[in-house]
Amino acid sequence: MTLQILDRPITKIGVIGSGQIGPDIALHFSKVFTPQGVPVIVVDVSREALENGRKKLDRKVDKGVESGAFTVDAGEAMKGNVTFTDDYQQLAGTDLVVEAATEDSNLKGKIFNQLTAIVSDGAILCSNSSHLEPEVIFGGLEDPSRSLVVHYFFPAERNPVVEVVSGAGSDPGLGRAVMGFYEEIGKFPIEVGSRYGYAIDPIFEGLFLASALLVEEGKGTSKEVDAVACKTLGYTVGPFTAMNLTGGNPITDVGLGNYTSRIMPWYRSPQILKDAVKNQSRWEVPARGEGVEVEPERSALISESLLGAYFGIVGEIVDSGISSVADLDMAVEIALDMHAPFRLMNRIGLEKSLGLVENYAAKNPGFSVPLCLVEQAGLGEPFPIATVFRWDREEVAIVCIRRPRALNALNEATFEEIKQHFLDIAADDSVIGAVLTGYGVKAFASGADVGFLAKIDSKEMGEKTSSGSQLSIQAIEDCPKPVVCAFNGLALGGGNEIALACNARIAREGLKVLAGQPEVNLGIIPGGGGTQRLPRWVGIEKASELMRTGRPVSSSEALRIGLIEREVPGSKEQLLSTGIDMVRAAVAGETPLPEIQKGPIQVPEMLPEVDLGHLSRMVDGILSRAILEGCRLPLKEGIAFEARMFGEVCATRDMNIGIQNFLEKGPRHPAPFIHS
């Protein structure tokens, strides 16, 4: 599979800079592209930096081999696929270059002017800048249309978030194309408007500033503030520890100084940071595993200050229009490894959150209270945080489930968003059909969020929960326009049930695990229509075997049994294009899509025997009844019967055992069912 950006195949990649982050960027590229035979070239003018960069990359690959992440052969291939050189001419023929040199606009400008004479015409030129606007970096290029910023986060080979920042001169389609490319190679990109510092660094550096001011004012030591920040904001490591790990003092000093005039006057480099840069000193922070006791009153003061600063900073970014609530909430949680800001405000309560910001602003001149928080608090409703997105292409709506940290698992809000999107599509005369897919390349939807299922505490609540999910899924089936499900990755449980409501399903070729109904492993049964739709698509014998054992199928088996219409080779973009073509062909009457049997279907008196192994016989009995009795009814009546059976299973002891086992031990440990 050859990946492309704006129809340009990526056959050779360059990375400029072998310092703090360049080798890590090269490592990620090598991990993805070595199997495809795409070489990676790292260029730096310093021989010492090149040697250190090579050692760093090799060390990380070797550690991956030791942990079992890579085989020995794969590790050696990855290392051999990266060339470290001081010869810029080795970048000749590159299709994609990521510059990761020092944060200096003049240096970056010189690098890109030099590159244009070396790389192929139309090569994609990216800067891993952390602050500088693309207009500043690429302003000297005769043709900046194939240039933009891609901002990685520490550590670049593992942190999946990438900010994609187009400039005024960037091709209008470049940002979306680069977003698709990074999603394809396993990153979580967000598109950000052009402004100094972009969206995430003002949060990282702003919270460091808020922390440093607390230390300057004697409200706590750097150790104490770090400890309270971890407890309050959910940091894995506190702001001072993070600064030590990333070597971020110098660049943060510069960034905070520039934010003063470019974002709001509160931002500035505090004196203790200036001193640390001058003395090249590190912050005193808690040692690994060290507990830091902070007096309760002092802890409360630090906590309230940090929350007020946090909520004000993220709100200002939304007010600026460079990013959205949903994008910031996802990216900050993952990139900075802390509580998602808008979900945290929703949990605390917006009135209280606004009060924290107003108190912080009153004590800190130049700090602004964001309008988005004022308005949302005035509505008396939590921030809406989208997890399902729609965009239209060629008169076809593309609906995408995006909860990447949870492998696109489904919760109540996600089900509700899916329903609303398909109601909107049904009423929208500008679209002729839809393609339903998931974000990323690992999962279409990994099932219902188990935390969501764990809240069920009665038969009645179980039936209500199942019925609610079914209503959302029914909106897909009831859509009067053709709907194709594009399996970008695995679909389990509720994820597969959503797909079953579509007119047809297609999948990426070669997926070893594509789809399944593994509910029995949790001590429950399918509750989103799976017991009724799966038999109607693949036959009752095969469907019952898959549901009763929880066994998943590969994409090739799914094709063989009729679960999917075809396997699609290539990238996710090719998968979506195939889905769009199928919708258009169906509307034109050229290739009609299959229709599910809406009436009863013929079923045996009893289901064939299967080996249940450790699985609950009590749950199997309820599941078998749901399949047999439900399939003797018209589809909608059978689905309603399934909801009643889901309620029945929620009253069993095995359901509680299965859910708790999953939450405590994970999916690899079989639940100790007692068959009651």
> 225, 239 in Cβ contact below 8 A?
yes
> 656, 664 in Cβ contact below 8 A?
no
Enter the tokens of residue 495: 């994820």
Cα–Cα nearest to 346, from 371, 383, 295, 318: 383
Enter the tokens of residue 571: 């990238």
User: Can you tell me the distance from the alpha carbon of 53 to that of 64, in angstroms, rounded to the nearest whole number?
Assistant: 17
Cα–Cα nearest to 231, from 165, 178, 304: 304
Query: Which candidate in 163, 183, 497, 567 is catalytic?
Result: 497
What number of H helices and E strands is found in the chain?
27, 19
497 is catalytic: yes
664 is catalytic: no
What residues contact residue 628 under an 8 Å CB cut-off, 6+ apart? 603, 604, 606, 607
Cα 444–Cα 449–Cα 451 angle in degrees, nearest 5: 165
Cα 46–Cα 49–Cα 51 angle in degrees, nearest 5: 110
Cα 473–Cα 478–Cα 479 angle in degrees, nearest 5: 100
> 308, 356 in Cβ contact below 8 A?
yes
Enter the tokens of residue 44: 């730096």
- How crowded is residue 444: how many other Cβ atoms within 10 Å of its Cβ? 31
Query: Which candidate in 183, 519, 642, 648 is catalytic?
Result: 519
Question: How far apart, in Å, do the first and last CA atoms of the chain sit?
Answer: 50
> 232, 344 in Cβ contact below 8 A?
no
Tokens 């053709």 locate to 482
DSSP category for residue 520: G
State the catalytic residues. 497, 519
